[in-house]
Structure 1
């Protein structure tokens, strides 16, 4: 059992997305955090940090995902388009677009689809992740609809939440999103933001994904995990079990 736990924790390292949503850039801290973890999947950050991160990490730099339309998910196609173009010009690898969730709740699903389709066109070949803010939406109807719009507009990933205000995302919400992906397009990935930042919570999500799609589906191109302190929780498991297994 301990050996299995150790191997799961090792697997999770390669699925981690590290949020770097600070106003000021601290290269020393970033380098220290990355070296402690090893080869993670990605870093989510702002456009102004893309170049400094790449220069600091060099060949060790993971995928950089630039978040736009953050934090409020504004329903403004022009502004979101300009932000996306700035992120691409900065050298980002992916785009993380915050969904205009308030417009959806105001029953503007058709306009939301137009918004997403336009942004998909602007992104071109760049991978595009849609953060639906399930923790704010809460209602199953809206979470399901947001997920359906993500798939219909050819998003590459559905992300549960940006983590702002620590909105609570439940296993039931994740299951709704996975059901939409499974039903409409299993090539769409999912990025889950944990609440308690615990290894056990992340393991529960991992098990759910494997049960639906199989172990071969679980890689950084389909599945990612993040949380403000998730990294430290996984590192603690690795340290504890390394001592036991060595």
Structure 2
């Protein structure tokens, strides 16, 4: 099964598993546990040092303009509040399609992300555009519901036309070591998505506590058929960080190297500035590679990030900063 990492290593190849086929890994609780606990342990100091080092990279103005437009195109513009109304969701859809009404060259965002009961409204709002509709399901954000309830949530969102499902894993089951239960729930949700919706699997990394757990959750979700792995719900204290996102990028890189299957990554929560977004894009390029520098494979789960990206874009175009009243309030 997996090989070990060279002592003290945290290079672009550190943490890779062997090229042995992943046959029968999920055949039983014991085989899955053996595989996940056989993954190389994470060198926390090395991981954080590499993430910090990549975060210091500077880019030139022309590259910055490209990066800002790329980041805008990767935003899942999100509203997940109990007070969401159809009017708010329609406004969100309009902003997603045309983030800066004064500049038609501004790219649209990747998607709008809403609760399942707002999917139909969101689909109507973005009709005729390339903007996708994503819906959180499976008892978001806690994930504390029977599987039948979670699957009903997913099927209703799919029937309403959602393009993507963002599900939350059962963190209690994961932390208790019941990996097969988590795997089977992801597999069942993937089946409920059918052929029309891609599946993003949310770990809530802040509740998984350790980097080893994040690595295990990444491989577990990919083995179960996730199209994306996602850091967090944005509803807890610790959400996306450069370190946990770097670790997940290593996982999808290594999974593709071993299986030939490419899986996307979505950091969510706490990414608020253009400077932060560019740092994450550097992580993608330097860790997973250029194949992931596309909104089909990388997303930002955000609400306030888009406005800062728009203000920085206007600064590059005009040479001066605009006030926050130059962008719409989400």
TM-score (norm 1): 0.92
- More strand as a share of residues: 1
CA separation in 1, counterparts of 2:128 and 2:191? 30
Give the secondary structure class of the aligned counterpart of 1:59.
Answer: coil
TM-score (norm 2): 0.69
CA separation in 1, counterparts of 2:312 and 2:180? 45
Query: Where does structure 1 lack aligned partners over 5 or more consecutive residues?
Result: none
- More helix as a share of residues: 1
Residues matched between the structures, number: 245
Q: Is the 8 A contact 1:198 1:230 kept in 2?
A: yes
Q: Is the 8 A contact 2:123 2:162 kept in 1?
A: no
Q: Is the 8 A contact 2:72 2:108 kept in 1?
A: yes
CA separation in 1, counterparts of 2:288 and 2:251? 13
CA separation in 2, counterparts of 1:49 and 1:32? 15
Over aligned residue pairs, what C-alpha RMSD do you find? 1.9
Q: How much has 1:75 moved relative to structure 2?
A: 5.5
Residue 25 in 1 paired to residue 90 in 2?
A: no
Aligned partner of 1:72 among 127, 132, 142:
142
Q: How much has 1:56 moved relative to structure 2?
A: 2.6
Give the secondary structure class of the aligned counterpart of 2:185.
Answer: helix
Aligned partner of 2:132 among 63, 74, 78:
63
Q: Is the 8 A contact 1:53 1:61 kept in 2?
A: no
Residue 36 in 1 paired to residue 93 in 2?
A: no
Q: Which has the higher mean CA deviation after the structures are superposed, 227-236 or 23-32?
A: 23-32
Query: Where does structure 2 lack aligned partners over 5 or more consecutive residues?
Result: 1-59, 101-106, 321-330
> Aligned residue for 2:14?
none
Q: Is the 8 A contact 1:134 1:173 kept in 2?
A: yes
Residue 180 in 1 paired to residue 235 in 2?
A: no
Residue 119 in 1 paired to residue 189 in 2?
A: yes
Give the number of the structure whose alpha-carbon radius of gyration is greater. 2
CA separation in 2, counterparts of 1:171 and 1:97? 22
Q: Is the 8 A contact 2:269 2:301 kept in 1?
A: yes
Q: How much has 1:61 moved relative to structure 2?
A: 5.9
Aligned partner of 2:71 among 6, 9, 12:
12
